[in-house]
Chains A and B, each alone.
Chain A
Amino acid sequence: MNIRCFQRNFSAAFPPLVPLQLPSPMETHLWYILPDEVKNSALLNQYSELLSPCERESVSRMRGDQLKKRALLARALVRTTIARYQTNCQMNPRSLRFRKNLYGKPEVEWRNEDNFNPPPLHFNISHTSAMIACGVTVNVPIGIDIEEKQRRTKNNIIAFAQRYFSPYEVKVLTAISDPEVQRQEFIKLWTLKEAYVKALGKGFSAVPFKTFTIRFRDTTMRNFHPPESSVSEESDIVVESSEDPTDPANNWRCALLEVAGSHYGAICMEKDRIAGENAPPKLTVWKTVPFVEDVCVSGTDAVLVLGGIIEQ
């Protein structure tokens, strides 16, 4: 019998996490925390109990309380999010172990126990000073990146783009005459490029930003959709690798969102060849304060799809 089943109520102080089914293939779950909504010190204490000693140490090394809090919430979000996905029975967020792959991308280290089949779960996190987000998929790797919409660069945008982006992207940005719109498009492009590199999971030096191009491509897709789902009529987002133009990186799907009215969020995931490419990928988004409140915000104003064929 799986020992894990007996850990259902591992802490009397914690209400259990609401268990969830794993996302289906080509579905993304996105969870986010707004740190400003988490002020209760007892709650923060409980979150810190979830962390490994190593993680606690990392948190303590962050400079200043705000950064410490952010680091703490990021680990708490990852642990509680993954623990929600029931396999045979509830997983204890505290007992999850993590490691980094060969290139430094964090992943869950499932332990080899009898009768325990690790779920084919992939995750990736990103954070800003005002939001921490965790994306979850099955079977395929995922990368996410969030940025505050108001983020300003210290450097001139075109100079920055010329240094780091691909020629096509520089052209697109240069063509934008309104500086504010240019800045916004720059941030969107940045998040998409980051998400792609993080999804690949091979480290930034393996895929320098200059070696691939993100393009918005208009599509004339027609699908039937039930009235309650919202579908983006915007462009599809494609990734083209300049290293190998004969084989554009069309194994990867990207989507661009506006989240909570304050952030741009980019999601990049590998296409699941088994699941097929016909159905548009689905997205479900929750705003959470782990153990306190989960609110599904898909289809509300909190989540707007700005690009990429994705369904909420």
Chain B
Amino acid sequence: MASSTALSFNFSTLSTHFKQNQAPLRGICNVNSVSLPSRGIRPGSFRRLRVSCAAKPQTLDKVCGIVRKQLALPADSSITGESKFTALGADSLDTVEIVMGLEEEFGISVEEENAQNIVTVQDAADLIEKLVEQKAA
């Protein structure tokens, strides 16, 4: 049996030199997919830079609220668009419940293929806006 600890395990020493890129994408719209030639690499290979048309802040806030509630996160825990569902502790049942909550809140229907591609909170917000738009059209 594992014995009790003398000191607590420091999880932050696990990270290497990883810096999260938190560049916000708001204000950049009308660009869905941009192909940029990369330098010094084999000709014909392009790096694809995908810039999502970012959702409105209100949408993002509502999504954060639903996620926070589903995962029972403390009010002071920070959730941003870049937050990954899995990193917040959501398992598959949580994710499906969140999607259901979003459907009800926004009056939309999310197909399974789309739900599977939702990795971050921003992905969810963007998808919602897209579906809301499609519905209004």
Nearest to A153 among chain B residues (CB) is B97
Interface centre among B7, B9, B87 (most CB of A within 10 A): B9
B8 at interface by CB-CB < 8 Å: yes
B112 at interface by CB-CB < 8 Å: yes
Nearest to B4 among chain A residues (CB) is A39
B2 at interface by CB-CB < 8 Å: yes
Q: Which B residues touch A39, using CB under 8 A?
A: 2-5
Partner of A164, one of B69, B77, B96, B101: B96
CB <8 Å contact, B112 and A292 = no
B136 at interface by CB-CB < 8 Å: no
A147 at interface by CB-CB < 8 Å: yes
A41 at interface by CB-CB < 8 Å: yes
Partner of A56, one of B14, B92, B97, B115: B14
A40 at interface by CB-CB < 8 Å: yes
Q: Which of A93-101, A201-209, A240-248, A255-263 contacts B (4 or more CB under 8 A)?
A: A201-209
Known: A37-B1, A40-B4. A155 touches B88 (CB 8 A): no
Nearest to B11 among chain A residues (CB) is A68
Main SS of the interface on chain B?
A: loop
Q: Which residues of chain B from 36 to 60 have any CB-CB distance to chain A below 8 Å in the complex?
A: none
Please report the total number of A residues contacting B with Cβ < 8 Å.
46
Q: Mask for A32-50, Cβ within 8 A of B = 1, else 0?
A: 0000011111011100100
A293 at interface by CB-CB < 8 Å: yes
Q: Which A residues touch B91, using CB under 8 A?
A: 127-128
- A26 → B minimal CB distance (Å): 27
Partner of A43, one of B2, B14, B96, B113: B2
CB <8 Å contact, A45 and B9 = yes
- B64 → A minimal CB distance (Å): 14
Q: Which B residues touch A37, using CB under 8 A?
A: 1-2
CB <8 Å contact, B87 and A62 = yes
Q: Mask for B60-94, Cβ within 8 A of A = 1, else 0?
A: 00000000011000000100000110111101110
Partner of B14, one of A66, A72, A293: A72
- A134 → B minimal CB distance (Å): 16
Q: Which A residues touch B87, using CB under 8 A?
A: 61-63, 67
Please report the total number of B residues contacting A with Cβ < 8 Å.
38
Known: A63-B77, A63-B89. A48 touches B14 (CB 8 A): yes
A171 at interface by CB-CB < 8 Å: no
CB <8 Å contact, A151 and B112 = no
Known: A63-B77, A128-B91, A208-B112. A293 touches B1 (CB 8 A): yes
Known: A65-B11, A68-B11, A154-B69. A60 touches B18 (CB 8 A): yes
Q: Which B residues touch A160, using CB under 8 A?
A: 96-97, 100
CB <8 Å contact, B11 and A41 = no
Q: Which residues of chain A from 54 to 103 have any CB-CB distance to chain B below 8 Å in the complex?
A: 56-57, 59-69, 72
B16 at interface by CB-CB < 8 Å: yes
Q: Mask for B105-136, Cβ within 8 A of A = 1, else 0?
A: 00000011101100000000000000000000
CB <8 Å contact, A147 and B116 = no
CB <8 Å contact, A292 and B14 = no
A53 at interface by CB-CB < 8 Å: yes
- Per the bound structure, the CA–CA distance linking A63 and B79 in Å amounts to 10
Interface residues of A (CB under 8 A from B): 37-41, 43-45, 48, 53, 56-57, 59-69, 72, 127-129, 147, 151, 153-155, 159-160, 163-164, 190, 194, 203-205, 208-209, 289, 292-293
Ordered nearest first, which 3 A-B pairs have the shortest CB separation?
A60-B15, A41-B9, A205-B113
- Give 8 CB contacts A-B under 8 Å: A38-B2, A41-B7, A45-B9, A61-B20, A63-B77, A63-B88, A153-B97, A154-B69
Known: A48-B14, A60-B12. 11 other contacts (CB 8 A): A39-B2, A39-B5, A44-B9, A56-B16, A57-B14, A60-B14, A62-B86, A67-B87, A154-B97, A205-B115, A289-B1
